Structure 1
């Protein structure tokens, strides 16, 4: 019997319900991770569900560890399942009790993040993933930051405004080409890669622009278009691919990355290229470039060569030119975003046949030494978290090279105290990177103990901080939920102690 209209309606309703449940699950996991790490107290006991006491005294239980799911709260003598909306309400109540503060905007961001996930999931059904495994890895992150209350919030705008530029929806798009009049150009560093994108008319310099940012800033830029300080020159003759950072795009045809401002809050901050960061960029990038050049190893730094903008819209129109991959990648290596190894994607080497201990040791050997050497020998604190780390793998999926990026997040010990710099490095490299990759690997290979090998990798003569790290009872974990709830500046990282698995691991000789 052929399907009827009623059958189609039921199938549609079932698909919609499945999509809503999947969006709830994606959005709930990072929010739960924050709540459990930052304010909840685990209760003794083992089993398929872990139980926590919340600041107000209520009990919450969840299934799973890395991706907690199926949250239930204990009230009226029994356990009640929490959907995402109920979880957001519970989090707001508990944070109000814990801090004595209210923050009505953050729950709205949590709901926006969930709705963005739903829109992304629906868009991916209709989209075609890129064939290039590197681009697939950059565009894989539906969950995103595993410890953020609203990792996929897009500023509250309708999906139609941002889906065309969303990496998670496998977007690709041309850039808008502007001309900025010579007397209004502001730039520093090597910007020749921008001039190579297209010709500019006499008296103007080429300024590529992100089309979403142009939409966001249209009213403010209207006078400059009217008086000729800005002119429109069309669009690029090639597509660019948004990376996991959203505002940074990859132009494979030119072997170039371009980073733009976006006047949208994404995770903790409005994603502008701020003037104070741009003005110190050359000093920071030069220090990192020298550190990697001195290392002599396979690790590479994707340099932020220079920026160009308009003096009358310095932050709004800023664009940063970053090295591409070809000049740094070892022959035969396939670069992959480290964050995608953790979240998963089609082509993830962790899903293939591998010796987990050998793979993990290879990962550690590529990722850890460059970060420790930069700190110990050059006073450079890499922001070596999962989204700033690319790991190149050989044909067998074994790590053979690490590539780091984003000078904006780098700190120099001349500008920050050594203790603060080391804390930041440990958070980025160990907590945000190694703990997460180890968790993804041991989830697939439960018999693996990753920490003896990690202890060996984190050994560096002449670096007392590394020696202390291997016996410290705790590690610093960034408190993104409390940071956002209390209205702290996104750059003002706050940490809470996290049990250190390195301290319990035996040394292997």
Structure 2
């Protein structure tokens, strides 16, 4: 609980008016992170844990040393928090304290992650702005207060102080004024046409986040050319911002570890951004414009001591489309629980037993749009990282989904062999993005689309009613079958269908990835597949 105490002291100094709200938010933040931790302890192959046994609405996890951890039974896609878990009968309400008591091998760093995540989430909840009656795209972005729905480090922000969180984090709805750094154009790695408005003679003016200016540029021996000159709204990813006067979104380097990844921009990503945009736009056109791609327009990485650096890079991305009479928002914002008068919550009217049929109709419409786009691109050779931050949905005047937009392209996986079979050449991108292994492609897409995106929507709409949830999963499965039926009957499509409707799906193992000694990159686990077991699996776990 060290971070919670430190945050309280800092808040009393910089925003004492938020102190009561922060204290009130701490129990709920602990329960929210504990729920994510419990999910990981139940689902991931963690060292030091043995069998999991369900008994009378609870689950007992046997530790390697013979102790027992017990808590309520839950399904992997459940969103609810867990106020208390019991270790050998002793109640624990603090997730970091529980992890210390468990003593899992290599978990020391993860303990600090959980502690920081609780404190930051309580701060987010205490300082989150009220709903907006006529929200624009940036307001929907900023409505996602609790972060990733299943990651225990959902609000982990080490190295970002309380004052800086209030000044820069999207849920607080600040205006963040970016700085500019002047660097010789001849020494920069530049992809795409760099805008003339960010040039000064033969020098590039790179937008830089003010946190980066304060914490990282001094170590590089770099000083800003101008400070506070580009006022912007921060979006969900924190380091991507929308200028107040319009124009491209700016993805800046923010060299801190948030959730579990460091948010810099590698020179490889700068080099890849425009070719990736070209490839995905071309493939989307083959599919009739599904999904629409939010293209990267250009990118640049400055050189420091003769080498291009991830700490002084930026990419310019097409802004969120604005459609008359339509709402465009991240899918993650759909799964935000109602707050205040609920005006920033598009699905509020679909929750409750009296609305189950309407919820299924809405989900069917969204699933048709999402499955057609994602499975169509997979058949052509690209697996999307289709979670709720990367996916934008376009809603018509009635709130029905009509279009999907995909953004943040750097985590896709591309199969050169599939591209070739569909008449496309090998793209000039980094080798890390390329794989012909079907398991890699399927884990990338299905783990994010089914495991995170549809999991959170089904949990939100079903509200723990396992009968309703099983029917919602059947709706998603039916949309996937329709999408496959509309594709050519090729060996790739048949393999994709078999994998999507297999007994288990691979999803990211968030705890495992943060243990000491874990290999770099993603770690994985497998879960029962709700698309094939929704009716029996969800009902079997009914309380």
| Structure 2 CA distance for aligned equivalents of residues 12 and 473 of structure 1 | 48
Asked whether the equivalents of residues 128 and 170 of structure 1 are also in contact (C-alpha less than 8 Å), the reply is no
Q: Which residue of 2 aligns with 1:124?
A: 128
Q: Which residue of 2 aligns with 1:495?
A: 524
Q: Which residue of 1 aligns with 2:30?
A: 24
Q: Give the alignment partner of residue 299 of structure 1, picking from 268, 273, 291.
A: 291
TM-score normalised according to structure 1 size? 0.84
Q: Give the alignment partner of residue 72 of structure 2, picking from 62, 72, 76.
A: 62
Asked whether the equivalents of residues 369 and 402 of structure 2 are also in contact (C-alpha less than 8 Å), the reply is yes
Identify if the C-alpha distance between structure 1 residues 187 and 428 changes in structure 2 by more than 3 Å, giving closer, same or farther: same
Higher mean Cα deviation, 112-121 or 401-410?
Answer: 112-121
Q: Which residue of 2 aligns with 1:344?
A: 337
Q: Which residue of 1 aligns with 2:312?
A: 317
Higher mean Cα deviation, 20-29 or 59-68?
Answer: 59-68
Corresponding pairs, count:
470
Q: Which residue of 2 aligns with 1:396?
A: 398
Higher mean Cα deviation, 247-256 or 262-271?
Answer: 247-256
Question: Shift in Å at residue 456 of structure 1?
Answer: 2.2
- Alignment of structure 1 residues 337-486 onto 2, 5 Å: 337-344=330-337, 346=342, 347-352=344-349, 355-377=358-380, 379-414=381-416, 415-416=434-435, 417-443=437-463, 447=468, 449-459=471-481, 460-461=484-485, 462=489, 463-469=493-499, 471-486=501-516
- Alignment of structure 1 residues 146-161 onto 2, 5 Å: 146-161=149-164
Cα distance per residue 1:90-119 (max 9 Å; x no partner) = 3245462xxxx3342221121111111222
Q: Give the alignment partner of residue 61 of structure 2, picking from 50, 53, 68.
A: 53
Helix, strand or coil for the counterpart of 2:225?
strand
Asked whether the equivalents of residues 458 and 466 of structure 1 are also in contact (C-alpha less than 8 Å), the reply is no
| Structure 1 CA distance for aligned equivalents of residues 41 and 136 of structure 2 | 34
Q: Which residue of 2 aligns with 1:82?
A: 92
Q: Give the alignment partner of residue 184 of structure 1, picking from 183, 187, 193.
A: 187
Asked whether the equivalents of residues 110 and 514 of structure 2 are also in contact (C-alpha less than 8 Å), the reply is yes
Asked whether the equivalents of residues 181 and 208 of structure 2 are also in contact (C-alpha less than 8 Å), the reply is yes
| Structure 2 CA distance for aligned equivalents of residues 95 and 300 of structure 1 | 47
| Structure 2 CA distance for aligned equivalents of residues 418 and 447 of structure 1 | 32
Q: Give the alignment partner of residue 73 of structure 1, picking from 83, 86, 100.
A: 86
| Structure 1 CA distance for aligned equivalents of residues 326 and 359 of structure 2 | 19
Asked whether the equivalents of residues 360 and 472 of structure 2 are also in contact (C-alpha less than 8 Å), the reply is yes
Helix, strand or coil for the counterpart of 1:66?
coil
Superposed CA RMSD in Å reads 2.8
Question: Shift in Å at residue 269 of structure 1?
Answer: 1.7
Asked whether the equivalents of residues 337 and 391 of structure 1 are also in contact (C-alpha less than 8 Å), the reply is yes
TM-score normalised according to structure 2 size? 0.79
Higher mean Cα deviation, 31-40 or 393-402?
Answer: 31-40
Asked whether the equivalents of residues 156 and 260 of structure 2 are also in contact (C-alpha less than 8 Å), the reply is no
Could you tell me which runs of 5 or more consecutive residues in structure 2 were left unpaired when the two chains were aligned.
1-16, 417-433, 536-543
Question: Shift in Å at residue 297 of structure 1?
Answer: 4.1
Identify if the C-alpha distance between structure 1 residues 375 and 36 changes in structure 2 by more than 3 Å, giving closer, same or farther: same
